A and B are shown apart, each in its own frame.
Chain A
C-alpha cells in the first residue's frame, strides 16, 4: 500500500494539491484567495492528467523525422485534455476576477462573509 503511494507520487501530489485547493475555496473568506484555491484545484487535475499521459522514455507526441510508430510517443490525449482545461480555467479565472473587481468597487473590501452577514443583519436581504 505504502509502496503504491510512493510509486505514484505524482498522483499523490495531485490529490494533496486538489484537497488544498478545495479547502482554500471552502474556508477562505477572501475572494482573491478563493480564486487562487480554484486555480490550485484545476492545476492539480492538470498535473494528474499529465502524469497519467506520460510514459517514461518516450517522446512528445509530435511526429519527428517521419516516424509514425505510436510506441515511440507518449499518450497525446491527456495533453489535449490539459490544454482544453487550461483554456477553461483561464476564462473562468478572468470572469471571477472581474466580478471580484466589481465587488471591491461596491463594498471596498475583498471579504466575502463580512458583507453577506452584515447585510443579513441589517435585513437588506428582504428589500
Chain B
C-alpha cells in the first residue's frame, strides 16, 4: 500500500522513456500508454477502500532521509480518488481521440506524443502526491512543457501561436511560483509542507514576517491561477484548448488545469492554513474572481463562432465555479468544488471528443454555422454532445446538476452572491449550448454531399463511457460527495 503512489510515478516515468526507444512502432506505443494508464488507475483504485476503512493518510519517505531533510509523498482518500479520476479521463481521452491523433500528428511523431502524455501523467501524479513544495515546482515545469508539447504536436500556424502564448504565460507564472518559494524559504527555512505549516503558523501568531508570507501567498495564487486559467488570467486557454488535437484538448481542460487547482488547494489548506488565508484576504479575492469567471466565461462563449473555442471558453466558466467553491473557505464548499472538478473532468473531455467527431463530420470546419445536421451524420458524437450539454446546463439526472446542487447548498449560508451567479451562469450556458444542439440535430438539405463516417469502436466506447460516468455521477453523486467530505477532513 505504501508504495503505490511511488510505483505509479516510476511506471509512468519508465513508460515515457520506453516510448521514445520504441522507434516507429506507434501501435505498440498506444497499447503501452493504455496499459500504463489502466495499471495506474487500478493501483489508485486499490488505495480507495483501504483509506475508507482506515481513514487517515500515509506519509511515504523517499530515500531514507527523515523529515525536515528528506523528500516525502503524502496521500489519503482524496489523493487516491483524484489519481483514479485523472487516469481514467486520460485513458478515455486517448481512446476517443485516436483517429484525430492519426490525422493531426505526423506519423513519425506518434511515439513522442505518447511519451509526452506519460510525462504529463507523471507530473500530475507527482503534483497530487507530493509533500514538498520545491518538488511541486519542478513537476509544475514538467507539466507545463509536456502540455505545451501536446498542443504543439499538431503542427499548424494557429497551434504555434497558441503554444507560444501558453508557454510565455505559464513560464512567467512559474517564475512567480519560484520566487514565492524563495520568499517562504527565506522566512521559514523549510520546504516540506508540514514543517512549513508549523513554521508559518508560529510566525503569523507572533506577528513577525507577516508581509513576506502574504506576498508569497498572493504570488502563489496568481501563479497557479494563470496556469489553471482563473478568470482574468484565462486568455491563453481558448487558443490552446481550441486549436489542439481532440485528445489534447480533452486532456488539457479535463485534467491538466485541475492538477494546478489541487496543488493550490493543498497550498491553502496544508501550507498556510485556511484561517490565515482568510485573514490575508486572498480567499475573498479568489471567491470574487471565481464569480467573475462564472459570468464572463459564459459571456465570452456566447460570442464565439468556433465550436472548440466555445467549449474552451465554457471551461473558463466552470473553473470559475471551482474557484468560487474554494473561495467559500469551508470544508463543505471545498468538497462541492472538488465534486464539480470531478464532474467537469468527465464532462469536458466528452464535449471535446464529441466536438472532434462533429468537426470531422462537417468537412473539418470548426465553425458552428457549418455544422447543420452533423449530429445526425455522426450519431455517437451527436449523442455525446447532447449528454455533455445537458450536464453543463444542469439538467437533473446528469452530473452537472448534482454538482450545482452541492455548490448551492454549501454556499447557502454565505450570502446570495454565489447563488445568483450560479443561476445566471446556468442560464448563459443554456444560451450558447442549446443553439448548437438544435443545429447539429437539424435536418439538412445537403446531407447527401457528406460521406458517411465509419463508426469507430474506440470512439463509441469512449463517448459511452464518459456519458455513463456522467449519469452515474448525477444519480449517485451523494456517494462520491460522502468520500470527498471524508477526504477533505484529513487534507
Contacts and interface: CB of A to CB of B under 8 A. Distances in A.
Contact of A88 (B141, B160, B161, B167): B141
Contact of A52 (B134, B167, B174, B185): B185
Contacts of A112: 164
Given A92-B144, A99-B160, 5 more contacts: A18-B175, A88-B137, A92-B141, A95-B145, A119-B161
Q: What DSSP secondary structure best describes chain A's contact surface? A: helix
B182 interface: yes
B286 to A, nearest CB: 22
12 contacts: A22-B175, A25-B168, A31-B164, A38-B175, A42-B178, A48-B179, A49-B182, A92-B171, A99-B152, A99-B167, A112-B164, A119-B157
Contacts of A34: 168
Q: How large is the interface on A (under 10, 10 to 19, 20 to 34, 35 or more residues)?
A: 35 or more
B179 A99 contact: no
A126 B138 contact: no
Contacts of B163: 99
B185 A49 contact: yes
A99 B164 contact: yes
A66 B191 CA distance: 29
Given A42-B178, A52-B186, A88-B141, A22 B160 contact: no
Contacts of B181: 81
Given A49-B185, A52-B182, A84-B138, A103 B164 contact: yes
Nearest to B144: A92
Contact of A42 (B134, B164, B175, B366): B175
A9 B134 CA distance: 25
Contact of B138 (A25, A26, A88, A116): A88
Interface in B293-311: 305-306
Contact of A91 (B134, B145, B148, B164): B145
A77 B191 contact: yes
Contacts of B167: 95-96, 99
Interface of A: 11, 18, 21-22, 25-26, 31, 34, 38, 41-42, 44-45, 48-49, 52, 77-78, 81, 84-85, 88, 91-92, 95-96, 99, 102-103, 106-107, 112, 115-116, 119, 124-127
Interface residues of B, number: 32
The 10 closest A-B pairs by CB, nearest first: A41-B175, A52-B186, A88-B141, A45-B178, A48-B182, A45-B179, A25-B172, A38-B171, A45-B182, A49-B182
B126 to A, nearest CB: 14
A40 to B, nearest CB: 9
B367 interface: yes
B306 A126 contact: yes
B172 A22 contact: yes
A116 B157 CA distance: 10
A108 B181 CA distance: 39
B350 to A, nearest CB: 24
A11 B187 CA distance: 13
A91 B164 CA distance: 16
Contacts of B172: 22, 25-26, 38, 41
Nearest to B177: A45
Contacts of B137: 88
Contacts of B164: 31, 99, 103, 112
Interface in B171-203: 171-172, 174-175, 178-179, 181-182, 185-186, 191
B171 A96 contact: yes
A84 B140 CA distance: 13
A26 B169 CA distance: 9
Contacts of A21: 175
A25 B173 CA distance: 11
Contacts of B367: 126
Contacts of A102: 160
Nearest to A44: B179
A42 B181 CA distance: 12
Nearest to A37: B172
**Of B141, B182, B185, B191, most A-chain CB atoms within 10 Å:** B182
A92 B144 CA distance: 9
Contacts of A78: 185
Contact of B175 (A45, A99, A103): A45
Interface in B99-148: 134, 137-138, 141, 144-145, 148
